Structure 1
Amino acid sequence: MAFLPPPPQSKTRPDIAIFLYGATSGGAPRRALTLAREFAKRGFEVDWVVANPDAPLAERVPENVRAVALDGVVSKWAALRRRKPLALRAAIPALGRYLSRENPRVLLSAANSAHFSAFLAHRISRSGTKLALRICTHLSGGTAGTSRAPRPVARALARLFVPRADFVIAGSQSVASDLVALTGIARERVSMVYNPVVDATVAERAREALDHPWFAAGEPPVVLSAGRLVAQKDYPTLLRAFAALRPKLSARLVILGEAKKPERRQRLLDVAKELGVADDVDFPGLVANPYAYMARARVFALSSAFEGLPGVLIEAMACGCPVVSTDSPGGSSEVLDGGRHGELVPVGDAEALAGALERSLTSEPDRKALRERAGAFSVDAGVAATLSALDLPPSLSSGRPS
């Protein structure tokens, strides 16, 4: 995907400009890539506007989506050093110029870290663009785009900019409730739209070959987890739970996901060594096809301290993999329907998590029911609901928006 740095004015006014730091491996960027692809498939003119065009998944930006790298020396310097907050702040003037020049119908800020920058750029642009904020996780857990500010300041800023957006989309009922409590926005102004997660490609890719010795026939069962190696995911609790499980059952633990800084991965390895389970724990990093792992794992574990709508839980269920999760602030309980489709345990409780893993490993899963539940979070439903929340037609066969 070739980025335009910056582009000339397009011949056609963009319908939707999706703004975020870049195509990193987190859940919000991956859902944004899905939205970009599906919006374009439905006939919308889509711009992918980022501060960092060289993020790990940049090659996944669809060819029929115009990729725009925001200019600016400081922003480029910060992006090169993967300093997301600085890169997003430094990109505000360039984003404002983009909005003034291109005047897209909607600017969709697609990740919590981008919202404050999107708000300021929108204000200075004085364009006719509508501002939409897609709130991915609890703002009270890590307030939108202001994580480096003291929490009272961050919350005050959220109360300033969230109610001033034209459209506000929450990724789960729990996130919507948190948003109302934190910012004072009226509940009727918040659209609740589940993430677009499951389509036919999940099952197709789940059947692809997997080159990892631990998943070969006859090997001990594998507990799988996936997500960035960040504090939010609370992998130390998962490691402690696995260590408590190992004396009772032979098993292995695989944690997929990248570490922004190598020392984060090393710290987790050190924890595994201290617990005496390092030989049975693997960190493969960012993998091209996590679904092949999910289809072959015996159980998927989510140990997060907070979430929005955890797509990895849904993806694992779509692959027929049993799941256990912390009952963290966010949408985990919604995904699992209050525990009907997988055990929920208290946040930070390694003993409870170990017990849930043991019960899952020693019982026979209903894989059909898991796949059916995951189908409630389909790409088609999520995209249609997002377009409706943005006051746009289901496709441009219904007429180009005015």
Structure 2
Amino acid sequence: MRILMISHAADRTGAPISALQLAREMISLGHELTIILRRDGELGEAYRETAPTHIWRDSPQFDLSDGLSTALRFDPLLAIKCVRSPDRPYCLGRQDRQRTTRLRQEIRNWKPDIIYANTTHCGDVVDELDLDTPIVTHVREMGPTIRALDARRLKSTMNKTDMFLCASRSVMKDLSQDFSVPDAKLRVEPPAVKITPEQMAVADAARGDVNDDLKLGDPDTLIIGAGSLIPRKGPDLFVEAAKTALDRHDGAGRLVFAWLGDGEMMQNLKHTVHEAGIESDVLFPGVKARPYAYFRRASAVLITSREDPYPRVAIEAGMLGVPVLAFADGGGAADLVRNYEAGHLIADFDAKAMGRDVSALVTASRTVDENLSKRVSRGHNPSASASRIVALFESVASTAHQTEPHKKATKP
């Protein structure tokens, strides 16, 4: 099968990592891939080593003549927005337009059987390619994030997608209720994650390094949070939960909370913990190149997201044998906890209740739960996921061929 994969980015974040793993698995199953990256990034070289890869947006140049061209192709308002902010969707300068025109013809000559878009953010690429090919979109966003898309790209994604793969039941619910997507076009397919035995061994061997980095003693209990320090991820709720847990802690050793990640809220959060007098117990050590060692040292991982379709951090925690505390209405982490008995769920985004549950879930001497690791690993196996997705591709392509002519791509 010829699969055109469109990834919205090549950053070292959840969706691009999952798409890269999926591409490798599909190739191992004998399928032919071509990849388009909306923009290049840290994982770009890994994509290029996997399959023929093209960069959609490669030139930052966009001048007044490009604005005029955009006004003629779309409308004057978009042209004004592009001149002010050339990085917007649909804002292609002359060099990018020339390159994407050649790429479009190359893809048409290649004749893909299916287009796989790794998020809802790929609608502009789908529009510009203008192919009469069935489309499967993997939705890794919840309702509020989808609604925040520009109207043109949102319309493209919703109208041209033949089947939506939903990262979690929460995502499926949002698509059904908020966007009126029929049930027949919805399937749940959670992110797949692969952690090798070698990675586990390296993580275990580095536990002492974690102690040194965070200034922990062997009897101390470590609780982890991870991700970008942005409001959606709820790091402020992590701090609030930590305050409650620290007030209640009376066990052996210290209770230490550490958030792995960086972002816009870093300084405010450090100020908050300083004002509370807990800066030695609530740490923000930044992004870590080898986070698995921190997870294996931890007694629990807190998923404090207010909105998160299925955080990769939660899956990795479970695969590493570490229980998860998450909010019941925060997104896909609830699927993990319910489906794999992976920890505790807290109602109503009650951070204080989460803090109280910390003491019930962990002890300073707890060992890694290898049975939890096996359960979560089986449920998020990349090879099994790729096989299910390819089977869906074949079904969607077959249905489209039986009902030819397929829906015609229309210019937005």
TM bin (shorter chain)? 0.7 to 0.9
C-alpha spacing 1:316/1:130, structure 2 compared with 1 (3 Å): same
1:341: how far off?
A: 2.6
When residues 271 and 117 of structure 1 are mapped into structure 2, their CA distance, relative to the original with a 3 A threshold, is farther
Q: Who is 1:22 aligned against?
A: 9
Q: Distance in 1 between matches of 2:310 and 2:132?
A: 31
Alignment check: 8 A CA contact 1:294 1:319 kept: yes
Match in the other structure for 1:380: 383
- Aligned counterpart, 1:111: 119
From the superposition, tell whether residues 119 and 68 of structure 1 become closer, same or farther in structure 2 (CA, over 3 Å): closer
Q: Distance in 2 between matches of 1:303 and 1:193?
A: 22
- Distance across 2 between alignment mates of 1:44 and 1:76: 37
The offset of 1:179, in angstroms, is 0.8
Counterpart for residue 396 of structure 1: none
Q: Which residue identity is paired with 1:98?
A: L
Q: Structure 1: which amino acid aligns with 2:370?
A: K
* Deviating more after overlay: 84-93 vs 189-198: 84-93
Letter in 2 for 1:46: L
Q: Is the 8 A contact 1:51 1:88 kept in 2?
A: no
Please report how far the alpha carbon of residue 62 of structure 1 lies from its aligned counterpart in structure 2 after TM superposition. 5.9
Identify the residue that residue 80 of structure 1 maps to in structure 2: none
Query: Deviations for 1:52-79, whole angstroms, at most 9, x for unmatched residues?
Result: 32x23434436132232224534899xx
State the one-letter code of the partner of 2:393: L
Look up the match of 1:335.
336
Q: Aligned residue for 2:373?
A: 371
What is the aligned residue count?
Answer: 359
Counterpart check, 1:120 vs 2:127: yes
- Aligned residue for 1:52, secondary structure, equals coil
In structure 2, do the counterparts of structure 1 residues 271 and 69 end up closer, same or farther at CA, with 3 Å as the change threshold? same
Q: Give the Cα–Cα distance (whole angstroms) in 2 for the partners of residues 316 and 216 of structure 1.
A: 20
Match of 2:59 in 1: 73
Q: Is 1:130 the equivalent of 2:134? A: yes
Instruction: Give the stretch that moved more between structures: 21-30 or 85-94.
Output: 85-94
Q: Which consecutive residues of structure 1, in runs of 5 or more, have no partner in the other structure?
A: 1-13, 78-82, 394-402
Relative to structure 1, is the Cα distance of residues 290 and 58 closer, same or farther in structure 2, using a 3 angstrom cutoff? farther
Residue 390 of structure 1 pairs with residue 393 of structure 2: yes
- Structure 1 residue 284, shift from structure 2 partner: 3.1
Partner of 1:11: none
For normalisation by structure 1, the TM-score amounts to 0.78
Q: C-alpha distance in 2, partners of 1:106/1:39? A: 13
* Partners of 1:321 and 1:334 in 2: CA distance: 16
The residue type paired with residue 178 of structure 1 is: D
Partner Cα separation in structure 2 for residue 59 and residue 274 of structure 1: 44
Cα pair distance change 1:287/1:299, threshold 3 Å: same
Deviation track 1:195-231 (CA, whole Å, cap 9, x = no partner) reads 1124535535533425332375525211111112222
SS in 2 for 1:320: coil
1:257 to partner: Cα distance = 2.2
- 8 Å contact 1:23–1:56 — kept in the other structure? yes
Judged with a 3 Å threshold, the aligned counterparts in structure 2 of structure 1 residues 382 and 19 are, in CA distance, closer, same or farther, namely same
Per the normalisation by structure 2, the TM-score is: 0.77
In structure 2, relative to structure 1, the CA distance for the partners of 1:32 and 1:308 (3 Å cut) is: same
| Counterpart contact for 1:107–1:129, Cα < 8 Å | yes
Structure index of larger Rg: 2
Unaligned runs of at least 5 residues, structure 2:
64-83, 397-412
Distance in 2 separating the partners of 1:186 and 1:87: 30
Provide the secondary structure at the position in 2 that maps to 1:203.
Answer: helix
Q: Which amino acid aligns with 2:26?
A: F
Matched ranges for 1:155-194 at <5 A: 158=154, 161-194=157-190
In structure 2, the partner of 1:238 is 238
Is the Cα–Cα contact under 8 Å of residues 195 and 309 in structure 1 kept in the other structure?
A: yes
Residues 1:297 and 1:353: Cα distance change in structure 2 (over 3 Å)? same
Q: Is the 2:225–2:260 contact (alpha carbons within 8 Å) kept by the matching residues of 1?
A: yes
Q: How far off its partner does 1:109 sit? A: 1.6
Shift of 1:141: 2.3
Contact kept, 8 Å, 2:39 with 2:58, in 1: the verdict is no
Distance change (3 Å), C-alpha of 1:86 and 1:96:
same
Distance of aligned partners of 1:44 and 1:371 in 2 relative to their CA distance in 1, 3 Å threshold: same
CA RMSD of aligned residues (A): 3.2
Q: Letter of the 1:194 partner, please give it.
A: P
Instruction: Report SS of the residue matched to 1:336.
Output: helix
Deviation at 1:347, TM superposition (A): 4.7
DSSP 3-state at the match of 2:280: helix
Contact 1:333 1:339 in 2 (8 A): no
Deviates more, 1:195-204 or 1:326-335: 195-204
2:260 aligned residue? 256
Structure 2 vs 1, CA of residues 60 and 253 (structure 1 numbering), >3 Å: closer, same or farther?
A: farther
Alignment partners' CA distance in 2, 1:319 and 1:73: 41
| Selected match of 2:146 from 143, 147, 150 | 143
Structure 1 stretch displaced more, 247-256 or 296-305? 247-256
- Pick closer, same or farther for the CA change 1:110–1:136 going to 2, 3 Å: same
Q: Given the superposition, is the C-alpha separation of residues 96 and 337 from structure 1 closer, same or farther in structure 2, using an over 3 Å criterion?
A: farther
- Bigger Cα displacement from structure 2, 62-71 vs 318-327: 62-71
Per the alignment, residue 37 of structure 1 pairs with 24
Deviation at 1:334, TM superposition (A): 1.4
1:47 and 1:216 mapped to 2: Cα distance? 47
Q: Compute the displacement of 1:339 (Å).
A: 8.6
Instruction: Indicate if the aligned counterparts of 2:5 and 2:34 stay in contact, CA closer than 8 A.
Output: yes
Displaced runs of 4+ in structure 1, greater than 6 A? none
Q: How does 1:152-301 map to 2 (within 5 A)?
A: 158=154, 161-200=157-196, 203-210=200-207, 211-212=209-210, 213=212, 214=214, 217-218=217-218, 220-249=220-249, 250-259=254-263, 263-301=264-302
Q: Distance in 1 between matches of 2:200 and 2:274?
A: 35
Match of 1:355 in 2: 356
